[in-house]
Structure 1
């Protein structure tokens, strides 16, 4: 049995899924991006009239996605220091990995969960980074 959990502070899911599910003492987060709650605004992203990415700031997106993960963790009864596994999806590893890795090290200097970082072709919204996380409760 599991409990579906949603944060009132993190961006709304873009599909039919919860922010997180609690199973035993584990918390599984759905993919979390850098969008802002209540808007389609993505920090650091400039779009053309058709919704295509013109420019983006990976640093702004990293800070925003880490903030969103933290909000979901807290609203689900967990915390940043209880993260045990993080999967990171980047849409441009060559251009963004160095900046992302530097910012990641700032956020995870005290807690160092297992981490996997992969490059993918695209994400469902015009974002450059998404996180999939597992934490304890």
Structure 2
């Protein structure tokens, strides 16, 4: 294992439901694994698209905090949604978690997500000085 690679784990975001880490930090870059709308305490999915979007951003923020950064350090955000009808809702809610200048972003429509989630997001933070 690379001695400069640091695995990021926090109880404030859902535990991994597969063979992955919540995030990996190397060289001031933090690679956040995908987060779905799971409540970290109950490990149950939030109900509805709005609640899931908020929970995903809260989970990403928790992992970013554990890495010593914040959502303001996000340089790339990937959004996966099961219905492009929710594109506008993602944009609306995203403005409550991010400030200008916004990260680069991709939004991809997908057929299905783990645990029947409606949305999943992953991203990259740059926390080096």
Cα distance, 1:40 vs. partner? 3.2
Q: Residue 65 of structure 1 is aligned with which of 31, 56, 60?
A: 56
Change in CA separation of 1:71 and 1:111 when aligned onto 2, cut-off 3 Å: farther
Q: Residue 111 of structure 2 is aligned with which of 110, 114, 121?
A: 121
Asked whether 1:91 is paired with 2:94, we answer no
Query: Can you give the 5+ residue segments of structure 2 that lack an aligned partner in the other structure?
Result: none
Cα root mean square deviation, aligned: 1.2
- TM-score, L = length of structure 1: 0.85
Asked whether 1:34 is paired with 2:42, we answer no
Aligned to 1:49: none
Cα distance, 1:111 vs. partner? 4.2
Moved over 4 A (4+): none
Cα distance, 1:135 vs. partner? 0.2
Q: Deviations over 1:29-77 (max 9, x none)?
A: 1111110114231111xxxxxxxxxxxx211111111000000000111
